[in-house]
Amino acid sequence: MIKTRLFSLISRLCAAAAFLTFLPGTAHAEVENLAKPWQLGLSKPGSPAMEQIVDFHQTLLYIITGIVIFVLVLLLYVMIRFNKKANPVPSQTTHNVALEVVWTLVPVLILALVVIPSMRLLFFVDRVEQADMTLKVRGFQWYWAYEYPDNGGIAFDAIMVADEDLKEDQHRLLDTYNPVVLPTNTTIRVLITAEDVLHAWAIPSLGVKKDAVPGQTNETWIHIKEPGKYYGQCSELCGDGHGFMPIAIHAVTPEEFKVWTEKAKLEFGSVNDNNKDAVEFAQNTAQTAGGK
């Protein structure tokens, strides 16, 4: 009787766990990737990297659930079968070579099996050989600055939208005055650095979290599948404005992106122009300083 009840309870728990693991994928259809109140599970994947991360997470969850249930059943069996009442005269056995070999080897084998997809995924998300364009990201206290070296060197800062300026479709602490506009179905190399202290550029739904380190350029890549908004935040404690330097990506079709780059060049100018000015300025200054 107890066994049947226990079995039905365990199977119900399993069903609930399976249901919950599938929930995040179906919870919301619109492509606006940010955490929702009472959300369960990971973000809806918006890139191949995040898809594989979610798949790997699910696989591990099944393995872990299996192990937990196995150990729980063993514990319950010991409690019921070998308690003082049911088993008043305990066995004096202390060693069992075969059993000890098995309980050492089986966990090792499970870990070895997990290592293979884990390493494959690590290399997959690390960097790409062939990218269609590059986005440069620099972390500042407390905002991000972006450059598009392959698109005329467009450059701008992304400052968080103040509460009083929030529009209806914008999210507090997540939207910036200038979103990072990026094309869908394009492999984008992302070069990340920082100008003052450590920051981290993280967008959960794209499976990206990369440290921004002063004096060092870190590389990662994204490939956004659907147009929409993708949100992230600085993920390395960087000072008292750490919570106020969000990342808002607006993914558009490649055609729309082309139109945007033309507009953005006029609106923001480009680092190429700035560099020209800077070089001229430096040359003039040097000449003046040299007394010529």
Q: Which residues sit at the interface with Cu ion, rule CB under 5 A? A: 199, 234, 238
- If the CB atoms of residues 225 and 242 are measured against Cu ion, the closer one turns out to be 242
CA quadruple 62, 204, 114, 78: dihedral sign: negative
Between the alpha carbon of residue 171 and those of residues 156, 207, 248, the distances in Å are 20, 21, 10
User: Please, are residues 132 and 254 in contact by the beta-carbon 8 Å criterion?
Assistant: no
Cβ at position 271, least distance to Cu ion in Å: 22
Cβ at position 194, least distance to Cu ion in Å: 8
- If the CB atoms of residues 201 and 260 are measured against Cu ion, the closer one turns out to be 201
Amino acid at 255: E
Between the alpha carbon of residue 175 and those of residues 97, 167, 183, 245, the distances in Å are 61, 10, 18, 9
- If the CB atoms of residues 184 and 233 are measured against Cu ion, the closer one turns out to be 233
- If the CB atoms of residues 128 and 213 are measured against Cu ion, the closer one turns out to be 213
- If the CB atoms of residues 189 and 199 are measured against Cu ion, the closer one turns out to be 199
Cβ at position 19, least distance to Cu ion in Å: 37
- If the CB atoms of residues 10 and 197 are measured against Cu ion, the closer one turns out to be 197
- If the CB atoms of residues 54 and 208 are measured against Cu ion, the closer one turns out to be 208
Burial 132-169 (b: 16+ CB within 10 A, else e): ebbbbbbbbbbbbbbbbbebbbbbbebbbbeeeeeeee
Cβ at position 156, least distance to Cu ion in Å: 18
Cβ at position 196, least distance to Cu ion in Å: 9
Between the alpha carbon of residue 62 and those of residues 14, 22, 57, 58, 59, the distances in Å are 10, 12, 9, 6, 5
Cβ at position 145, least distance to Cu ion in Å: 12
Cβ at position 166, least distance to Cu ion in Å: 21
- If the CB atoms of residues 194 and 264 are measured against Cu ion, the closer one turns out to be 194
User: Please, are residues 99 and 153 in contact by the beta-carbon 8 Å criterion?
Assistant: no
Q: How far apart are the first and last CA of the chain?
A: 101
Cβ at position 62, least distance to Cu ion in Å: 36
Q: For residue 203, give both structure tokens.
A: 């967008």
